[in-house]
Structure 1
Amino acid sequence: MAEEDWRACPGGVPAAGLPSVLVACAVLVDADGRILVTDRPAGKDMAGLWEFPGGKVEPGESPEAALVRELAEELGIETRESCLAPCGFASHAYPGVHLLLLAFAIRKWQGTPAPREGQRLKWVRLPDLFSLAMPPADRPLLGQVAAIL
């Protein structure tokens, strides 16, 4: 493959020397097969874009524990690490940081998801995910999620 050809691949040219951030996100699937997405609230980078709920993994924390914590904080729901099924990952270089995003499908939780951090939320059918405006790091997850669900 010619050098200029690989530069056009999704994600562009890998950036060297950026700090890495590990993020865990949830693909919450309800009884009707719909998937929950939340938008990035005003004041945050990429405000208004739709994403899978979740957040940064803190030092010493497993991705699963981080996601259980984040879902309680962001949506007021409870789940267990044993209810999380890995369903994809994405690696994306943003200006100043390299994001590694780990996705987990979840079908069992307690409570009703409700926005607790100023975000909006909506339940969408799998095909409708592909038409949402999403952050670049989330887009590669869509095909992986579709293949598993």
Structure 2
Amino acid sequence: MLREGRGGVSAVTAPAGHHQYDSSASTGDLVGQAAMQISTLVRAELALAKAELTEKGKRAGIGGGLFGGAAVLAVYGLGLALVLAVVALDLVWPLWLAVLVVTVVVFAAAGIAALVGRRQLQAVGSPVPQETVTNVQQDVDAVKAAAREGRS
């Protein structure tokens, strides 16, 4: 059964009325008890994982919202820095030339960032987690081989 702790579900305990050892139990009874205990353990572990993921999801949502707010403020700051660059260049050049130079620099920076990002995305390759797929396939093959050996 599940026990509630400080952070939600924290431990698994044996169901009430079940002993750890029963010397008079038949093999079938022991297998049935083991299956029931494994089922209870799996359900408890899933409940624990669900509680943990819910808590982490809440924190991630708050963190993501704050990060998004920071990004919006950074965009405003970048805009102000660009205006400052135009005003500073306007002191020595005509306004149209200052705006043109700042615009060209911004578009050049955007182009370089796009090319670097494209190269990074091409380096990633397939989004399928190949190592995980290989490991799962090996596990499936091992279970199939064990099942075949058990039948022989």
TM over 0.5: no
Choose 1 or 2 for highest CA Rg.
2
Looking at secondary structure, tell me which structure has more helix per residue.
2
TM-score w.r.t. structure 1 length? 0.19
Looking at secondary structure, tell me which structure has more strand per residue.
1
TM-score w.r.t. structure 2 length? 0.19
* Structure with bigger RCO (C-alpha 8 Å, 6+ apart): 1
